[in-house]
A = this chain, B = another copy of it.
Amino acid sequence: MRAGIIGVTGYGGLELFRLLTAHQEINELFLYSSSKQGQLLSDEAPHLFEMNQEKLRSFEQLETDELDVLFCSAPSGVSSELLPPHLEGKMKVIDLAGDFRLKEADVYRKWYGKEPPNATFVDNAVYGLTEWNENKIKEANLIANPGCYPTATLLGILPLVKTNVINPKSLIIDAKSGLSGAGASPNKASHFTKVNDSLSVYKMNKHQHIPEIEQTLKTFAETEVNITFTTHLVPMTRGIMATIYAELTEDIQPHTVSEIFNEFYQSKPFVRVFKEKTDLFTKQVYGSNYCDLTFALDERTNRITVISVIDNLIKGAAGQAVQNMNIMFGLNETEGLQQSPLFP
């Protein structure tokens, strides 16, 4: 298979490069960069020194059907411009940005502050939350790969919403991310001395992943609700933890919650369900495609707390994209994704 990566010098693109070069089914890998064309990838990313010899290409060089699959890891808004000319050929496309995720144009405009891509393409785009949408992903030509926060959040709550164990209107998600989620461009908020030894809150009630979570609850669990969702920056490079709160609709025992999670995920290779009240930590999934889950029931308040951790650049971006590619091409779902978490 021949694959291409747009935006390979960003953090998501670098992870795609790392995963795809180790993928058994990818024979050729073409790298595109708008700003660094003609350079070697390792000029920009010295950890890859001597690991790639071909120069970065201009995206204009892409010929129709030159590739079997194209990954686009450009900033939001860029995919809308670059991809449409290529969306009607045989080449399958996996977009890691937000452009094709939101089905309603007005919602996209409100939260992204931009014009959405052509509605036809948006309609055809399949939401790539692998564990919950495998059948559609198999047939898809264009994948809207989920955001990092929505992946962690939705894997934690969908089983409970689907089984009516919780009241979805009560959902509150307190999300925490490492800095790589904010991208590679330097700015005041990503300066080491601002971030180090400090925890910050940002985009209160304004994060563009809010409508993505709400839309997906509607799609996969027929539930139309508004959620409360807060985002924090943690002084670490990778990792997301979503701490999720909801009211229970019934008297329930821990073993029943475990059974519900296991029913949905026991056949899913990348979701690991830990026993109640396990002290999860983000580094236990560092460098891997896992999503790890635990929960706690509180009979004093009749609430459940769910903890979900992922590596934001892998299960939250490049890893899930490769997982989707595997399914689209009929490969083993875990191909190229079996790396153990790296600890310590």
**Is B49 touching A292 in the complex (CB atoms < 8 A)?**
yes
Q: Pick from A60-68, A82-90, A139-147, A298-306 the stretch touching chain B.
A: A298-306
Among B47, B200, B236, B241, contact of A343 (Cβ-Cβ < 8 Å):
B47
Q: Does A198 lie within 8 Å of B236, measured CB to CB?
A: yes
Contact with B along A159-182 (1 / 0, CB 8 A): 000000000000010101011100
Contacting residues, chain B, for A230 (C-beta < 8 A): 174, 243, 305
Quick check: is A234 within 8 A (CB to CB) of the other chain?
yes
Chain B residue numbers with a CB within 8 Å of A294 are 201
The number of residues on chain A lying at the interface, defined by a beta carbon within 8 Å of a beta carbon of chain B, is 85
- Provide the residues of chain B in CB contact with A226, threshold 8 Å: 300-301
Chain B: which residue is nearest A11 at the CB level? B344
Cα distance A22–B205 when bound, in Å?
39
Q: How far is the CA of A274 from the CA of B46 in the complex (A)?
A: 9
Using a CB-CB cutoff of 8 Å, which residues 245-301 of chain A contact chain B?
245, 272, 274, 277-288, 292, 294, 296-298, 300-301
What is the CA–CA distance of A49 and B288 in the complex, to the nearest angstrom?
A: 12
16 additional A-B pairs beyond A184-B193, A201-B241, beta carbons within 8 Å, are A11-B193, A11-B344, A46-B274, A46-B278, A47-B286, A176-B176, A186-B186, A192-B196, A192-B237, A194-B281, A196-B235, A196-B237, A199-B239, A206-B277, A226-B300, A228-B245
